[in-house]
Structure 1
Amino acid sequence: MANGFLHTQIWGLDNMMSLEDVIGLMHSMDYSEKIHYLEGKDDLSINDISLNHCWEKPSEIKCFSTANKKENEVVRYFSNVGIIEVPIPENDAYIDPERTKLLPRDRRIKVHKVNTIFFEYFQKVYAIVFGSKNDVKIKSVLMGQGYRERKKKEWGKVEFPLPQYQLSSEFFYWMYYKYLKQQNLTTPHGVIKINDVEGIGRYSDRKQHDTRGTGPKSTSELSNMTALGINQLVYKSDFNLTYENSIRVNFCLNTDSSLTIDKKRSLITKSNEVPEGISGNEEFILLKFYLDILPGLSRAYSIDQDNGSWSESHSRKARKEYALEVIRDLCSIHNIKPEEISGLQPV
Structure 2
Amino acid sequence: MAGKDIKLSLWALDPSINIESVSELMTLNYNKPIDYLSDRPGISSFDRTLMNRWREYKPDQGFEVQEIEVFDTTFRYIPAKAYFETTVGLNQAIVNGTVLPREYRISDNELPVFFFEYIGRVYVIVSGSEYKVSSIRKLLMGHGRHATEEQKQWQKVHLKDIPNYNFTSDFFYWLISKENQIVETSLVKMEISDIRFLAQTGTERSDVRHESQGANILDEAVSKTGLGVNSRVDKIGTTISFEGGHINLIIFDNGACWVDNYSSAMNGVAGELEAFEENLETGTLTLFCGILPELRTAYNTEKDDDKWTTGHQAAARKLWALGAINELCSENEITLDEISQLEWFFNKR
Question: What is the TM-score with the length of structure 1 in the denominator?
Answer: 0.88
Deviation of 1:54 after TM superposition, in Å, equals: 0.9
Deviation of 1:233 after TM superposition, in Å, equals: 1.4
Q: What amino acid does structure 2 have at the position aligned with 1:12?
A: A
Greater mean deviation of Cα atoms: 330-339 or 112-121: 330-339
Q: Distance in 1 between the 2:128 and 2:228 partners? A: 33
Greater mean deviation of Cα atoms: 226-235 or 166-175: 226-235
1:263 aligns with 2:261: yes
Q: Deviations over 1:220-261 (max 9, x none)?
A: 1333223322322112111122123x4221111110011100
Deviation of 1:62 after TM superposition, in Å, equals: 2.8
Q: What amino acid does structure 2 have at the position aligned with 1:218?
A: I
- Give the corresponding residue for 1:65: 69
Structure 1 residues 251, 42: CA separation in 2 closer, same or farther (over 3 Å shift)? same
- Give the corresponding residue for 2:239: 240
Paired positions, count: 334
Q: What amino acid does structure 1 have at the position aligned with 2:109?
A: H
Question: What is the TM-score with the length of structure 2 in the denominator?
Answer: 0.88
Task: Indicate if the aligned counterparts of 2:169 and 2:234 stay in contact, CA closer than 8 A.
Answer: yes
Unaligned runs of 5+ in 1: none
- Give the corresponding residue for 2:145: 147
Q: Distance in 1 between the 2:217 and 2:69 partners? A: 35
Q: Distance in 2 between the 1:275 and 1:225 partners? A: 35
Q: Distance in 2 between the 1:320 and 1:326 partners? A: 10
Structure 1 residues 150, 208: CA separation in 2 closer, same or farther (over 3 Å shift)? farther
Q: What amino acid does structure 2 have at the position aligned with 1:77?
A: Y
Q: What amino acid does structure 1 have at the position aligned with 2:115?
A: F
- Give the corresponding residue for 2:224: 225
Q: What amino acid does structure 2 have at the position aligned with 1:84?
A: F
Structure 1 residues 289, 104: CA separation in 2 closer, same or farther (over 3 Å shift)? same
1:253 aligns with 2:236: no
Percent identity reads 30
SS in 2 for 1:176: helix
Q: What aligned pairs does 1:102-141 form with structure 2 within 5 A after superposition?
A: 102-136=99-133, 137-141=135-139
Q: What amino acid does structure 2 have at the position aligned with 1:174?
A: W
Q: What amino acid does structure 2 have at the position aligned with 1:236?
A: K
Deviation of 1:173 after TM superposition, in Å, equals: 0.8
Q: Distance in 1 between the 2:175 and 2:101 partners? A: 54
Deviation of 1:194 after TM superposition, in Å, equals: 1.1
- Give the corresponding residue for 1:92: 92
1:6 aligns with 2:6: yes
Q: What amino acid does structure 1 have at the position aligned with 2:29?
A: D
- Give the corresponding residue for 2:209: 208
SS in 2 for 1:209: strand
Q: CA RMSD in A?
A: 2.2
- Give the corresponding residue for 2:170: 170
Greater mean deviation of Cα atoms: 256-265 or 160-169: 160-169
SS in 2 for 1:295: helix
Q: Distance in 1 between the 2:107 and 2:264 partners? A: 31
Task: Indicate if the aligned counterparts of 1:196 and 1:219 stay in contact, CA closer than 8 A.
Answer: no
1:45 aligns with 2:44: yes
Q: Distance in 2 between the 1:339 and 1:318 partners? A: 27
Task: Indicate if the aligned counterparts of 2:164 and 2:293 stay in contact, CA closer than 8 A.
Answer: no
Specify which of 291, 306, 309 is matched with residue 311 of structure 1: 309
Deviation of 1:39 after TM superposition, in Å, equals: 2.9
Deviation of 1:185 after TM superposition, in Å, equals: 1.1
- Give the corresponding residue for 1:101: 98
Q: What amino acid does structure 2 have at the position aligned with 1:118?
A: F
Task: Indicate if the aligned counterparts of 1:64 and 1:74 stay in contact, CA closer than 8 A.
Answer: yes
Greater mean deviation of Cα atoms: 9-18 or 75-84: 9-18
- Give the corresponding residue for 1:296: 294
Deviation of 1:206 after TM superposition, in Å, equals: 4.6
